[in-house]
């Protein structure tokens, strides 16, 4: 069932069960097409460490990390253009951020059972007045969010398939990360793991 309940999550807007199962299945199908054209990649961080999360992107720009640092690139590392942002994702953005510019980038993260993402803030974008809209699919992920300074108090929540979080206002530059995945907690994906999609205005 579709739910429009909104919960405050350390200043972020949290929408549990925003997408119903049919919408989730449709999105996974569309994401599969993207991954076929622009394969998931384990990028290396600035410290040359391989990230446990596999990533790709859709949209005009794609976020990546390589020896030039964290940045938005015009093409996938293979040289192919990033696929278009699927329209159901643009619709979510328009519903939750009607006054924002349209997203020009969509980062697709795949977390296997052992993957995690350390605390970071999304600050590679040019305009922090534009929100980040995050959609979770598949297995539950333990999402942690704090404030704008590293080392402060944080709050943790299990994000479930179909949940949406909007980082906006003061939370736009809040530290956040994913501590662990509860493998097998959802039957949405063919194999254990979690997908997180974030829509952004990069430039
Ligand atoms: C991210 O910060 O890029 C991903 C957050 C999440 O997986 O929920
Ligand atoms: Fe992030």
109 lines ligand 1 (CB under 6 A): yes
Flag whether pLDDT at 195 surpasses 70: yes
Q: Which residues make up the environment of ion ligand 2, defined by Cβ < 5 Å? A: 122
Domain ranges within the chain, ordered by starting residue: 7-200
The mean pLDDT of the chain is 97
Give the per-residue pLDDT at 88: 98
Residue 30 pLDDT grade (very low, low, confident, very high; cuts 50, 70, 90): very high
pLDDT tens for 85-135 read: 999 999 999 999 999 999 999 999 999 999 999 999 999 999 999 999 999
- Whole-number Å distance, alpha carbon 2 to ligand 1 midpoint, is 22
pLDDT tens for 41-96 read: 999 987 779 999 999 999 999 999 998 889 999 999 999 999 999 999 999 999 99
- Whole-number Å distance, alpha carbon 107 to ligand 2 midpoint, is 9
Fold of the domain spanning 7-200: Jelly Rolls (2.60.120)
Q: Is 44 exposed, middle or buried (0-12, 13-18, 19+ CB in 10 A)?
A: middle
Contact 129, 114 (CB under 8 A): no
Flag whether pLDDT at 1 surpasses 80: no
Structure tokens at 121: 């803030």
Give the whole-angstrom CA distance, residue 86 versus residue 126: 23
Q: What is the pTM of this model?
A: 0.97
Nearest CA to ligand 1 atom 5: 177
């Amino acid at each position: 069932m579709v739910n429009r309940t909104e919960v405050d999550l350390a200043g972020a807007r949290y929408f549990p069960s925003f997408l119903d199962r049919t919408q989730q299945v449709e999105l996974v199908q569309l994401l599969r097409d993207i991954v076929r054209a622009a394969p998931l990649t384990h990028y290396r961080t600035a410290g040359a460490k391989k990230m446990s999360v596999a990533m790709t992107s859709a949209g005009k720009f794609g976020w990546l990390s390589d020896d030039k640092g964290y940045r938005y690139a015009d093409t996938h590392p293979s040289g192919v253009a990033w696929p278009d942002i699927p329209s159901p994702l643009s619709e979510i953005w328009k519903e939750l951020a009607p006054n924002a510019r349209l997203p020009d980038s969509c980062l697709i993260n795949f977390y296997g059972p052992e993957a995690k993402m350390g605390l970071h803030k999304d600050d590679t974008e040019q305009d922090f007045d534009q929100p980040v809209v995050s959609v979770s699919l598949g297995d539950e992920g333990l999402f942690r969010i704090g404030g704008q300074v590293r080392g402060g108090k944080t709050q943790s929540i299990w994000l479930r398939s179909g949940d949406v979080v909007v980082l906006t206002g003061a939370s736009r530059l809040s530290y956040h990360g994913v501590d662990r995945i509860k493998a097998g907690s959802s039957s949405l994906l063919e194999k254990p793991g979690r997908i997180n999609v974030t829509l952004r205005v990069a430039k």
